[in-house]
Amino acid sequence: MSKELTYWTSIFKKVIIVLFLIISAWVSIKLAFFYMPFLIAFLISLLIEPLIKKLMKKFKLTRRTSSIIVFTITFGIIIGILIWLIVTVISEASNLLSNFNYYYEQANNLVQNILSKFNEGKINLPENLMNLLKDNAFNLLEKFSEYLQHFLTKTLAGFTKIPVIAIYVGVSVLALYFFCTDKIYMLDELEHHLPEKWMKHLTQHIREIVKVLGGYLKAQFTLIFISFVICLIGLYVLHFIGLNVGFPLIMAILVGFVDALPILGTGTIMIPWGILSSLSGDIRLGIAIIVLWIIMSLVRQFLEPKIVSRKYRNSSNIYNYFNVYRF
């Protein structure tokens, strides 16, 4: 009886732990949206902290003076990039939505041409299998077009909420300023209001988390940002030389988003894009996209060991775990 009671007690504890983790994750997600400006400001402050310290050491400045200089430069860069991103995304998304039916017909014709080549070529598929491929291909295309149209509509609707965006940006800027200038004061106040034992353990755990998880996030963000910049520049170059790249920024953001996902990589988007462009008759664009993907892959393969091993040694194991099978 005691063994059975112990067994059910352990099961009950595990169920409670799982429920606690689920509730904690749900609450964390809800709070993350509310505290997003502060989280963004905190992450940016971590990125610019080395610049503040370097300026203090080189020019013998106080932390407040050095923080104000770095904050002003960072603020100007962020606002400039935000304005350019918002204007360009709105322009490209509006253009894509206004011509959505045309692009859908082009994609539909492309799928039909690809499927018809199975019948014309040496591959003779059974009629039932051919019908199944057609149905699935057109259903997939229709679902993808619906999701894309819905996403673009939501994106444009989000950008029209200028007061909400302004509030978020304003709170993030103020939080960034105080994180930069009053970091030492905040840490001192935290030490005075918490017991010494708690503070010691809390500091130790935070440092370990920052070393491992923070190192991984920094390495990942750096590589994703480099891939995004190379992709964006490459797509704009292809657009300016006359190739059919209509939405460079949206495509670069999509490539960067997929590159941020575990296992998946830039090739998940760019290889099918290059192949489909070649099959549709635009061989120049297809070759250019594949070449751009090769350049991005080579740059990533060259920089990845240096960034992970030199700057973020503590996170090399977790980094390799998430990136061992990247495409």
Q: To 5 degrees, how large is the angle CA 66–CA 67–CA 69?
A: 65
Token representation of residue 174: 């103020």
DSSP string, 28-53: HHHHHHHTHHHHHHHHHHHHHHHHHH
pLDDT digits (tens, 9 = 90+) for 101-127: 888 888 888 777 777 766 665 556 677
CB of 238 closer than 8 Å to CB of 292: yes
Q: How far apart are CA 71 and CA 120, in angstroms?
A: 63
Token representation of residue 211: 């070393």
Of the candidates 305, 140, 138, the residue with the CA atom closest to the CA atom of residue 222:
305
Report the range out of 33-42, 228-237, 315-324 with the highest average pLDDT: 228-237
Residue 231 reports pLDDT greater than 90: yes
Q: What residue segments make up the domains of the chain, in order of their start? A: 36-193, 196-321
| Strand spans (E) along 169-242 | none
At what angle are helices 248-260 and 215-240 packed, to 10 degrees? 150
Query: What's residue 322's pLDDT?
Result: 47
Of the candidates 247, 257, 198, the residue with the CA atom closest to the CA atom of residue 224:
257
pLDDT digits (tens, 9 = 90+) for 151-180: 888 888 877 777 777 888 888 888 888 888
